[in-house]
């Protein structure tokens, strides 16, 4: 008999998780959060003997669901970011302790083969730059930015939406910290960052930045690592790495399908939830190991400093 999973949140990411669970052999129920209340949800999870819950709701709607899962002893997969304020993050970690070792945060870029390769290489790096950007209006069909979670001053904005790179910086440089966070807003969406640059540093190096925006007419996702022995340029969309050592260049590519990252993390979550062996990915974002990364993201959001606004239609 297949295990019973519940996906809370029927947006695009919730639907993706629902279909991936089904493709992996699980029985999945997709529930729109607006149709739920905690008491009826608790009764439903208890009656079904739920194996696990996937939380794909808006970021502010997390703590009460996590508390419910912990009380029932049900592990959960919670979408990123885990929280956007340190106070809420601390509450989540305290409440989730009973199931934290069997729960995960949805930072699926940890399953990108090129990201894994950079962590495995453990290069001596003194500087880095990461950049991700694309026009938010072109993300999805029949989707309105203005009506979405991303347009809300509490829990919205590009830093939270595209926070994978902050997590990648933590994976590469575990001692990295936030120096400054500089943002450009939009005149029609007060308190929402549209272009953000996070400056980061660790004692003794490296020093670097993570830049993200909702504005780029071309989708970009790239990384530049500067070391004394080599310079590495990585295109995470094309999955292509160029390593330059003086006059010599080495090019490496990977076969890549974006949904494989989601499937890889979901497989490991199902293994944790069902008491099975995981894939062995050292970057598995198991909740009990995720405080430092999650605190970087929440701390960066709290440290945002706005430098003016842009104009334009973002319906």
pLDDT by residue (tens digit) across 85-114?
999 999 999 999 999 999 999 999 999 999
Q: Which two tokens stand for residue 236?
A: 């995470």
Alpha-carbon distance 60 to 5, whole Å? Answer: 22
Q: In the β-sheet with 104-105, what is the strand arrangement from edge to edge? A: 27-31, 4-8, 52-55, 76-78, 104-105
305: helix, strand or coil = strand
Dihedral sign, Cα of residue 110, residue 111, residue 114, residue 117: positive
Alpha-carbon distance 169 to 73, whole Å? Answer: 32
Residue 242 in this model has a pLDDT that exceeds 80: yes
List the single range of 30-34, 158-162, 174-178 with lowest mean pLDDT. Answer: 30-34
Residue closest to 273 by CA, chosen among 20, 102, 32, 125: 102
Band (pLDDT 50/70/90 cuts) for residue 261 is: very high
Residue 285 in this model has a pLDDT that exceeds 50: yes
Residue 1 in this model has a pLDDT that exceeds 50: no
Over range 129-140, report the average pLDDT: 86
Residue 11 in this model has a pLDDT that exceeds 90: no
Percent of the chain with pLDDT over 70: 97
Residue 143 in this model has a pLDDT that exceeds 80: no
pLDDT of residue 53: 98
pLDDT by residue (tens digit) across 196-229?
999 999 999 999 999 999 999 999 999 999 999 9
Alpha-carbon distance 17 to 23, whole Å? Answer: 10
Who wins on pLDDT, 99 or 149?
99
Residue closest to 183 by CA, chosen among 201, 160, 208: 160
Band (pLDDT 50/70/90 cuts) for residue 257 is: very high
pLDDT of residue 315: 67
pLDDT by residue (tens digit) across 20-52?
999 999 999 999 988 778 888 899 998 889 999
Q: Phi and psi for 85 in degrees, rounded to 5?
A: -135, 140
pLDDT of residue 64: 93
Residue closest to 75 by CA, chosen among 55, 56, 100, 57: 100
Residue 122 in this model has a pLDDT that exceeds 90: no
pLDDT of residue 140: 66
Over range 164-191, report the average pLDDT: 96
Q: Phi and psi for 286 in degrees, rounded to 5?
A: -65, 135
Band (pLDDT 50/70/90 cuts) for residue 2 is: low
Dihedral sign, Cα of residue 43, residue 45, residue 46, residue 48: positive
List the single range of 31-40, 184-193, 273-282 with lowest mean pLDDT. Answer: 31-40
Alpha-carbon distance 119 to 288, whole Å? Answer: 20
DSSP, residue by residue, 33-64: GGG--HHHHHHHHHHHT-SEEEE-S-TTS-HH
Alpha-carbon distance 133 to 86, whole Å? Answer: 26
pLDDT of residue 37: 85
Alpha-carbon distance 203 to 61, whole Å? Answer: 36
Residue 256 in this model has a pLDDT that exceeds 90: no
Which domains does the chain show, CATH number per domain?
4-107+260-285 (3.40.50.720), 109-256+297-310 (3.30.360.10)
Q: Look up the pTM and report it.
A: 0.95
């Amino acid at each position: 008999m297949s295990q019973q999973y519940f996906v809370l949140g029927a947006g695009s990411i919730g639907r993706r998780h629902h279909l991936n669970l089904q493709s992996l052999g699980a029985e999945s129920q997709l529930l729109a959060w607006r149709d739920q209340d905690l008491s009826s949800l608790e009764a439903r999870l208890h009656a079904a003997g739920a194996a696990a819950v996937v939380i794909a709701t808006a970021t502010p709607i997390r703590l009460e669901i996590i508390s419910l899962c912990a009380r029932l002893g049900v592990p959960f997969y919670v979408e990123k970011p885990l929280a956007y304020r340190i106070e809420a993050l601390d509450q989540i970690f305290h409440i989730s302790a009973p199931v934290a070792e069997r729960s995960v945060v949805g930072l699926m870029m940890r399953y990108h083969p090129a990201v894994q390769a950079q962590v495995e290489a453990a290069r001596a790096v003194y500087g880095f730059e990461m950049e991700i950007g694309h026009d938010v209006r072109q993300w999805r069909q029949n989707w309105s930015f203005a009506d979405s979670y991303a347009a809300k001053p509490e829990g919205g904005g590009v830093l939270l939406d595209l926070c994978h790179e902050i997590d990648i910086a933590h994976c590469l440089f575990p001692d990295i910290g936030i120096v400054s966070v500089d943002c450009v807003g939009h005149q029609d969406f007060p308190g929402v960052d549209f272009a953000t640059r996070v400056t980061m540093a660790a004692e003794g190096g490296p020093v670097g930045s993570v830049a993200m925006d909702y504005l780029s007419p071309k989708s970009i996702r790239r990384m530049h690592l500067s070391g004394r022995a080599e310079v590495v340029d990585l295109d995470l969309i094309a999955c292509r790495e160029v390593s330059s050592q003086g006059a010599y260049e080495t090019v490496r590519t990977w076969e890549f399908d974006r949904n494989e990252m989601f499937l890889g993390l979901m497989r490991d979550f199902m293994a944790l939830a069902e008491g099975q062996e995981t894939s062995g990915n050292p970057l598995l974002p198991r909740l009990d190991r995720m405080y430092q990364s999650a605190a970087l993201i929440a701390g960066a959001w709290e440290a945002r400093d706005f430098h003016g606004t842009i104009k334009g239609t973002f319906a």
